[in-house]
Amino acid sequence: MRRTLKLIASVFLASILNGCVQKEVLDDITLIEGIGFDYIDSKNILGTIVIPVYLPKQAPKNITFSAKAEIKKSMLQDIQRQTADPLVTGSLAVVLFSKTLTEKVGILPLVDPFQRDPGVGSGLYLAVVDGETKELLGGNYGIRGNATYISNLMNHNIKNEDLPQTNLQWFLADFYQEGKTPFIPQIKQIGKDKLKITGISLLKYGKMVDFIEAEDMFFFKLLVDKYSEGLHRVKIESGEAAVRSIRSSHNFELTKRNPMEITIHIKVDGIINEFTGQELTPKNIQELKQQFSKDIQKESLKLVQRFIGKQIDPIGIGHYVKTQTRNFDFNNWRENQYKDIVVKIKPDVKISESGVIE
Amino acid sequence: MFNFFKNSEKESLDKILAKSADFKCLEYYNNKSNISFTLKFLATLVDEKTIQDSVLPYLLEGNFKQIEDVKQIVPLPDIKLSEDISQIEDMIFNGSVLLTVNGKDNKFCFLGAKKEIGRNISLPEVEFSVIGPKESFVESLDQNLNLIRKRIPVKELVIEKKTVGTLSKTKVAILYIDGITNTENVNTVRQRIEGIEFDEITDSSYIVQIISDNQNSPFPQLLDTERPDRISAILAEGKVAIFVDGSPHALIGPTTLVEFFSSFEDYYLNWILSSFFRLIRLFAVVFSILVTPVYVATLSYHYELIPQDLMSTLVASRRAIPFPPILEALFLELTIELLREAGARLPTKVGQTIGIVGGIVIGTASVEAGLTSNILLIFIALAALASFTTPVYRIGNTIRLLRFPFLLFAEVWGLLGIIVCFCFLLTHLIRLTSLGRPYLEPLYPPRMQDLKDAFIRLSFDKQRKRPFLLNTKEPYRFPKKAKKEKKDIEDE
């Protein structure tokens, strides 16, 4: 009897704790799916959020709210005054920054709140917008809402094309990793209902310092990411071929110390998607292979030289050298060693398939 | 024994019996041997045709001089001479005819002429299986025991009989195989059945509840079955079976939780198939218990967990609903429970109609009226369907009940609450025993060797060992196969 009483009492006492958990019933909250930040002046920004309004058997309607503010949280408070239900960040999918803002102010103070919010997933995509984010978020893309459209766009380009792996987690990891420069993709609105990934922005201390064009993204991905999948056109005398990389890996090797010399081995497994020439003979394939290797070497080296010239390091050479060196001094590295480093690229290309019908 | 009737000692048996209309006391006279005798019996219990055909002609015309002659002249198998007056009451109520020779009251004879009214063996209705035998137990104890004796024709099969219930005097049979079953288990059953103090035991369900280790548990601690094949199989495993007169369900003990999810058809299918079906059934049970609580928890607390693609479907279906998820879920769960109760109480034909009316009309109407979301309706219907896959009806009821505490905990603390409730459930299950043996075995205590016939069922050649749980006297079911040795080249 006493035991039963104790049980009942404990259940009742436990139910008092009910108030300790905050209830967020799905239909009584406003889900923010995307946030955009635009530049107003050196102290103020314009924040825009996009929320989907789900309608039965229809594509969700995108509604945007904007507010001028100093930092992100106060911007949300301002928007809070415009919405019927409390705003929650739990299903946030993308955060966009306008190009002007990234160049002039930097995105660090704006990203900070997201890494502290437990509701925000680390798979959140960050991106720079060529133009105004307010305008971009105001468009109507796809059938699943704007933010989902943007995040799907990035997701599939990372998986199947030449956009390197990127999200909040990767951004922060790169940012906190000394000897590595973070990068995020750049998108642009090219019509009322169309978007495009235009390239990759490189951010030094949160500010955009360089931009990689879409044509170079294939080589950039070879340098920074594993399992690069992308398409590259190779020209030889007898025609032009489209080679799709199906698997790739890159390895660093510290070949010399004084002066520093780094060799980057790039392994690519490719298949030939199309060929414009007459016939694809084994000889042609051999030529294609060599040409592809040459292209990789030339273009990658060009990229690396450009990074060294701009004193940025998205490939993480500094980080790699640090792992190989005792008592590594980053100041010395940044000021002296990185400038004079010699980088060699050694591509290893394999063409594993050239079509079913020979 | 506790004497129920305070005044029964004061009045004589004849006087009390004479109050009943079916008591007959008939006097006869045998002309040949000049002897008068009396037959006393209860007409409702005795087959009067037997008296007319096989008793009276021989007593009236035969050479009947004294009571001892009855055995020679009456062609009945069950004739008992006695001088013990205390037996009379018992025998009369068991359908015997009391024969006394007038003037010599101290010696008498019982003639067995029991009237058997019962139904024939029919198809199993609760545990139907497509493959396998189609007979099931009936209410008559003797008929049921006959079914078992036929399946295990060995002298080691022991049938002990007990009588329980001060009013009902129900006959209970304890079955086990001597030399296999652990005597400890048999003793426990015997002791508990002897200890039953209740007036009217009408069914084996009474016995389950009275002799279970923990009467305050929603979990049944003895398995009940209506299939003779199941009983004979578990007897061979080393378990104890309990039969109750008047009940078509026999009891099995000790049992484990997992056994409630094994259908006997599992043994008739190939082990790969039956293992797969068992896993599906277990999944169905977990699904059935958890799906609504998880729905409520996610929608009230953890919207972050909902995939983006599902969001639009979920939110759009809930937009117009005026209730919080918990009320919505409780409303639908209660509707389903009502339907089930109504379906179970009504006659079969009306019951079917109720199912259709309830399922289709109420479901569609409540969605159209905007009272519930159609997604939850699908979940609840699936959960109800999943709970019907349990092969033992009794555990299905337990699962019905379990959903509600989970639902309340989910409402109070979200997913954390579901975990808390699960911890309560697990603690309870770990403490539970069946005839003193752990109920959660082979999960806890972990017994690897008993896993061969728990969540999956391995092939029969892997089933050499009897369950470790039962601690049987003879641990092996068949001799070990001799290893095939390769012939040496020189031997050839």
Locate the chain B residue with the closest alpha carbon to A91. B304
Q: Nearest CA to B217 among B442, B433, B386, B384? A: B433
CB contact under 8 A, B312 and A52: yes
pLDDT at residue B7, rounded to an integer: 52
Which member of A15, A29, A60 has the closest CB to residue B312?
A60
**Contacts with B, A 224-283, CB within 8 Å:** none
With contacts defined as CB-CB under 8 Å, which chain B residues touch A33? 308
Prior bond of A347 cis (ω within 30°): no
pLDDT of residue A184: 93
pLDDT of B2 reads 47
Among A17-26, B79-88, B98-107, B392-401, the range of highest mean pLDDT = B392-401
- Contact status, residue A231 vs residue A244, Cβ threshold 8 Å: yes
pLDDT in tens, A85-140: 888 888 899 999 999 999 988 888 888 888 888 888 888 999 999 999 999 998 88
Q: Express each pLDDT in A202-246 by its tens digit.
A: 998 888 999 999 888 989 998 988 877 888 888 888 888 888 888
Which of A319, A315, A303, A313 has the alpha carbon at shortest distance from A339?
A313
State yes or no: pLDDT of B227 exceeds 90. Answer: yes
Query: How many Cα atoms within 13 Å fall on the side-chain side of residue A79?
Result: 27
pLDDT of residue B196: 92
Q: CA of A356 to nearest chain B CA: how many angstroms apart?
A: 37
The pLDDT score that the predictor gives to residue B415 is 93
Instruction: List b or e across B86-106, with b for residues whose CB sees 16 or more CB atoms inside 10 angstroms.
Output: eebeebbeebbbbbbbeeeee
pLDDT bucket at B6, cuts 50 / 70 / 90: low
Largest Cα span, chain A: 94
Per-residue confidence band for B28, with pLDDT thresholds at 50, 70 and 90: confident
Q: What share of chain B is helix, strand, coil (3-state, %, to 5)?
A: 50, 15, 35
State whether CATH 3.30.300.210 applies to domain A226-358.
yes
- Arithmetic mean of pLDDT over chain A: 87
**Mean pLDDT of chain B, nearest integer:** 88
Residue A58 Cα, gap to closest chain B Cα (Å): 9
Question: Is residue B5 pLDDT above 70, yes or no?
Answer: no
The pLDDT score that the predictor gives to residue B330 is: 92
Inform me whether the pLDDT recorded for B36 exceeds 50. Answer: yes
Which contiguous run of DSSP H or E holds residue A315?
none
Residue-wise pLDDT for B246-299, tens only, equals 999 999 989 999 999 999 999 999 999 999 999 999 999 999 999 999 999 999
Q: Sheet with B170-177: list strands edge to edge.
A: B157-164, B170-177, B240-244, B250-253, B223-225
Please give the share of chain B, as a percent, with pLDDT higher than 90.
43
Chain A residues inside the 8 Å CB shell of B416: 21
- Is the separation of the CB atoms in A111 and A126 below 8 Å? yes
Report the pLDDT value the prediction gives residue B1, as an integer from 0 to 100.
41
CB B233 within 8 A of CB B262: no
Chain B residues with CB under 8 Å of A24 CB are 300-301, 303
pLDDT of residue A142: 85
CA distance A254 to chain B (A): 44
A267 Cβ contact partners less than 8 Å away, ≥ 6 residues apart: A247, A248, A249, A250, A251, A347, A348, A350
- Split at pLDDT 50, 70, 90, the class of B242 is very high
> Residues of A with CB below 8 A from B306's CB?
26, 91
Minimum mean pLDDT among A69-73, A189-193, B162-166: which range?
A: A69-73
Both tokens of B291, joined, read 């799906």
Across the interface, do A25 and B324 touch by the CB < 8 Å criterion?
yes
Which residues in chain A touch residue B303, judged by CB atoms under 8 angstroms apart?
24, 26, 29, 31, 88, 90-91
> What three-state secondary structure class fits A352?
strand
Of A25, A54, A55, the CB nearest to B325: A25
Lowest-confidence pick of A226-230, A353-357, B196-200: A353-357
B48-68 burial: b if 16+ Cβ within 10 Å, else e: eebbeeebbebbeebebeebe
pLDDT in tens, B404-417: 999 999 998 899 99
Best residue of A12, A18, A27, A88 to probe chain B, by most B CBs closer than 10 Å: A27
Give chain A's radius of gyration (CA, Å).
25
Lowest mean pLDDT of A120-134, B115-129, B225-239, name the range.
B115-129
Using N-to-C axis directions, what is the helix angle for B228-237 and B141-151, rounded to 10°?
60
Task: Flag whether pLDDT at B4 surpasses 60.
Answer: no
Listed range (A156-165, B358-367, B408-417, B437-446) with the worst mean pLDDT: B358-367
**Where do the domains of chain A lie?**
24-213, 226-358
Of A24, A55, A145, the CB nearest to B303: A24
Q: Where are the alpha helices (DSSP H) in chain A?
A: 2-16, 72-80, 99-104, 108-116, 133-137, 146-160, 168-176, 217-224, 282-309, 317-324, 330-332, 338-340
Q: Which residue of A4, A50, A54, A152 to mutate against B (max B Cβ within 10 Å)?
A: A54
Residue A97's pLDDT is 93
Give the whole-angstrom CA distance, residue A131 versus residue A257: 44
Averaged pLDDT, B156-161: 94
In this model, does residue B491 exceed pLDDT 70? Answer: no
Give chain B's contact residues with A (Cβ, < 8 Å).
Answer: 298-301, 303-304, 306, 308-309, 311-312, 314-319, 321, 324-325, 412-414, 416, 420
Residue B244: its H or E element: strand B240-244
Task: For residue B373, give the chain A residue with the closest CA.
Answer: A56
**Interchain CB distance below 8 Å, B304 and A57:** no
CA–CA separation, A316 and A331 (whole Å): 16
Q: Give the pLDDT score at B70.
A: 82
Residue A203 exposed, middle or buried by CB count within 10 Å (0-12, 13-18, 19+) = buried
d(CA B191, CA A33): 68
Q: Closest to A26 (Cβ–Cβ): which among B309, B318, B414?
A: B318
Enter the ipTM. 0.82
B165 phi-psi bin (left φ>0, alpha ψ -120 to 50, beta other): left
Q: What is the pLDDT of residue A72?
A: 57
Tell me whether the omega of the peptide bond preceding residue B218 falls within 30 degrees of 0, making it cis: no
Question: What pLDDT shows up at residue B11?
Answer: 64
Strands B433-434 and B437-438: antiparallel
Residue A335 gets which letter from DSSP?
Answer: I
Distance (Å, rounded) from C-alpha B251 to C-alpha B446? 25
- Residues of chain B with pLDDT > 70, as a percent, come to 97
- How far apart CA B307 and CA B266 sit, in angstroms, is 38
Cα–Cα distance, B403 to B290 (Å, whole number) = 7
Chain A residues inside the 8 Å CB shell of B308 = 33, 91, 93, 144, 148, 151
What pLDDT is recorded for position A23? 83
A1: contact with B, CB 8 A cutoff: no
Q: Name the β-bridge partners of B305.
A: none
Q: What is the DSSP string of A177-246?
A: STT---EEEEEEEEETTEEEEEEEEEEETTEEEEEEEGGGHHHHHHHH-SS--EEEEEEETTEEEEEEEE
Q: Rounded distance, CA A304 to CA A297, Å?
A: 10
Our CA-based measurement puts residue A10 at a distance from the nearest CA of chain B, in whole angstroms, of: 12
A88 and B CB contact within 8 Å = yes
Measured in angstroms, the CA of B373 and the nearest CA of chain A are apart by: 12
* Chain B residues whose beta carbon lies within 8 Å of the beta carbon of residue A29: 303
Whether B349 shows a pLDDT value over 80: the answer reads: no
Nearest neighbour of A21 by CB, restricted to B298, B317, B414: B414
